[in-house]
Chain A
Amino acid sequence: DIQMTQSPSSLSASVGDRVTFTCRASQGITNYLAWFQQKPGRAPKSLIYAASSLQSGVPSRFSGSGSGTDFTLTISSLQPEDFATYYCQQYDTYPFTFGPGTKVDIK
């Protein structure tokens, strides 16, 4: 199975901050990488697919990059509604696997 790791596991930030977190795959997955946002008690929400394509309706402050094994998600200016946990997922090879998540909370 392809193992997904994320760093950091958590971070504290302020509204308006630029935040970046990373996701690494244990083997190359070209660009078959998605990012999801999950708030407490809610279903995950799709943000990014194909490593850098923005899901319809997602604000442009979210952006993704990377290919192969190393990927990043950037929020250019953190908004109050962005405090959540972010998961990456590879959909290159079955079984699809998720990273353990990065929790973003208020500093």
Chain B
Amino acid sequence: EVQLAASGGGLVQPGRSLRLSCAASGFTLDDRAMHWVRQPPGKGLEWVAGISWIGDRIVYADSVKGRFTISRDNAKNSLYLQMNSLKTDDTALYYCAKAYCSSLNCHFDYWGRGTLVTVSS
């Protein structure tokens, strides 16, 4: 069974950093593109970042470009999101999502359990 579980969220002050992890099981991460998507409390979904299967292509939403870094360690079956210079607008539940294929132009087929990031002083 495919499972994804995000972790690493918490309460952090504006301007500080946080690193999210996504552990994958039930499939081999290294032949799938992966994404992060976030959802502010009570609101809709916003795509954040995506990375191809070997990490040679990475894309970001303008709202996080230059502050967030997506990466992956296929040997550990894990995906990461390094979030720097956090703003209150970054407060959201962060989900990792698996793409159906290895490239970035592909639909999502599984979503993981999210992790809540709260940015507040």
Give the interface of A toward B (CB within 8 A): 32, 34, 36, 43-46, 49-50, 55-56, 87, 89, 91-92, 94-101
Contacts and interface: CB of A to CB of B under 8 A. Distances in A.
Interface string B46-62: 11001000000001011
A87 B45 contact: yes
B3 to A, nearest CB: 11
B111 A101 contact: no
A44 B107 contact: no
Among B35, B104, B109, B113, the most chain A Cβ lie within 10 Å of the Cβ of: B109
A44 B62 contact: no
Contacts of B107: 32, 34, 46, 49-50, 91
Interface of B: 35, 37, 44-47, 50, 59, 61-62, 95, 100, 104-114
Given A36-B45, A43-B95, A100-B44, 7 more contacts: A34-B108, A46-B109, A49-B107, A56-B109, A91-B108, A96-B35, A98-B46
A100 B44 CA distance: 6
Nearest to A93: B105
A101 B44 contact: yes
B111 A45 contact: yes
Contacts of B59: 94-95
B110 to A, nearest CB: 7
A32 B50 CA distance: 16
